[in-house]
Structure 1
């Protein structure tokens, strides 16, 4: 009877390992399908989207009554500088806001109102992740498996 019990335990252990392996393969397959379904947005197209939604304007003295400084860099605005005025009426230096938006943040730095559509930011993030993940021959493995992966 003990031999039968040992065989059963051994068989259960093997089945659990096989099921875990199949589950991981399924997760990897789903991740690959997800990444192939989204169209990555290149940096230049992303910047054009920012410009289209929030055009650059020159800073004028008339704006000074409400906006004295950029709250990202904390520098005062100068006449003629390129700024972006968002729909929420907050004004920032163009480069300061663009840097903020390129960091996956699609919101105003002050009030967090959406500045860009979520899908645009997500698709740009997909491209950035694809460019930065050439580990394991471009194949994406879960973190705990990447340590076990032997490069070819």
Structure 2
């Protein structure tokens, strides 16, 4: 009788593992299919594409002091702009070092560090951050497996192993 109980227990464990793996594979397959069929408006864009769009909207140039009496300071790094440095002047007329502003625009929202006016349309920023969030905070199949195993097996997924 004890051996029958042990055999049924092992059979139950094997069936549970099998159906869990089947469910996980199905979810991963569905996710990959929906990602490939999603429209280009929802498709995340790469950092290179994002920086290219920034360059198209606000092209970089070289700083020239010319006849200016007043010195200009980059509000991101707080250092003075010097002759020949690569700068980016936004539509709001604020000027920054190109690299400083590009890093700023990649961090959160694509807004001017001084007046917070939009540098890029909100849809483009959302597409960029969707890709960043997928890479940094989820979207990985490993996390999906972990969360599904927690849902299937309770708060302690290692309980059966």
In 1, Cα distance between equivalents of 2:130 and 2:45: 8
Query: CA RMSD, aligned part only?
Result: 3.2
- Counterpart of 2:108 (choices 88, 104, 112) is 104
In 2, Cα distance between equivalents of 1:98 and 1:134: 26
- Counterpart of 2:144 (choices 132, 139, 142) is 139
Secondary structure of 1:40's aligned partner: coil
Task: Provide Cα deviations, 1:66-100, integer angstroms capped at 9, x if missing partner.
Answer: 65110111101110000000011000000110011
Structure 1: runs of 5 or more not aligned:
1-31
Mark the CA change 1:55 to 1:63 in structure 2 (over 3 Å): closer, same or farther.
farther
Runs of 4+ in 1 over 6 A off after TM superposition: none
Mark the CA change 1:99 to 1:84 in structure 2 (over 3 Å): closer, same or farther.
same
- Counterpart of 1:150 (choices 140, 153, 157) is 157
Q: TM-score, normalised by structure 1?
A: 0.65
Structure 1 residue 131: Cα displacement: 1.2
Structure 2: runs of 5 or more not aligned:
1-30
Contact 1:57–1:84 (CA under 8 A) maintained in structure 2: yes
Structure 1 residue 139: Cα displacement: 2.5
Aligned pairs for 1:2-151 within 5 A: 36=38, 38-62=42-66, 64-65=68-69, 68-132=72-136, 133=138, 137-139=142-144, 148=155, 150=157
Secondary structure of 1:84's aligned partner: strand
In 2, Cα distance between equivalents of 1:86 and 1:75: 18
Secondary structure of 1:83's aligned partner: strand
Q: TM-score, normalised by structure 2?
A: 0.62
In 2, Cα distance between equivalents of 1:118 and 1:77: 29
Contact 2:104–2:113 (CA under 8 A) maintained in structure 1: yes
Structure 1 residue 148: Cα displacement: 3.5
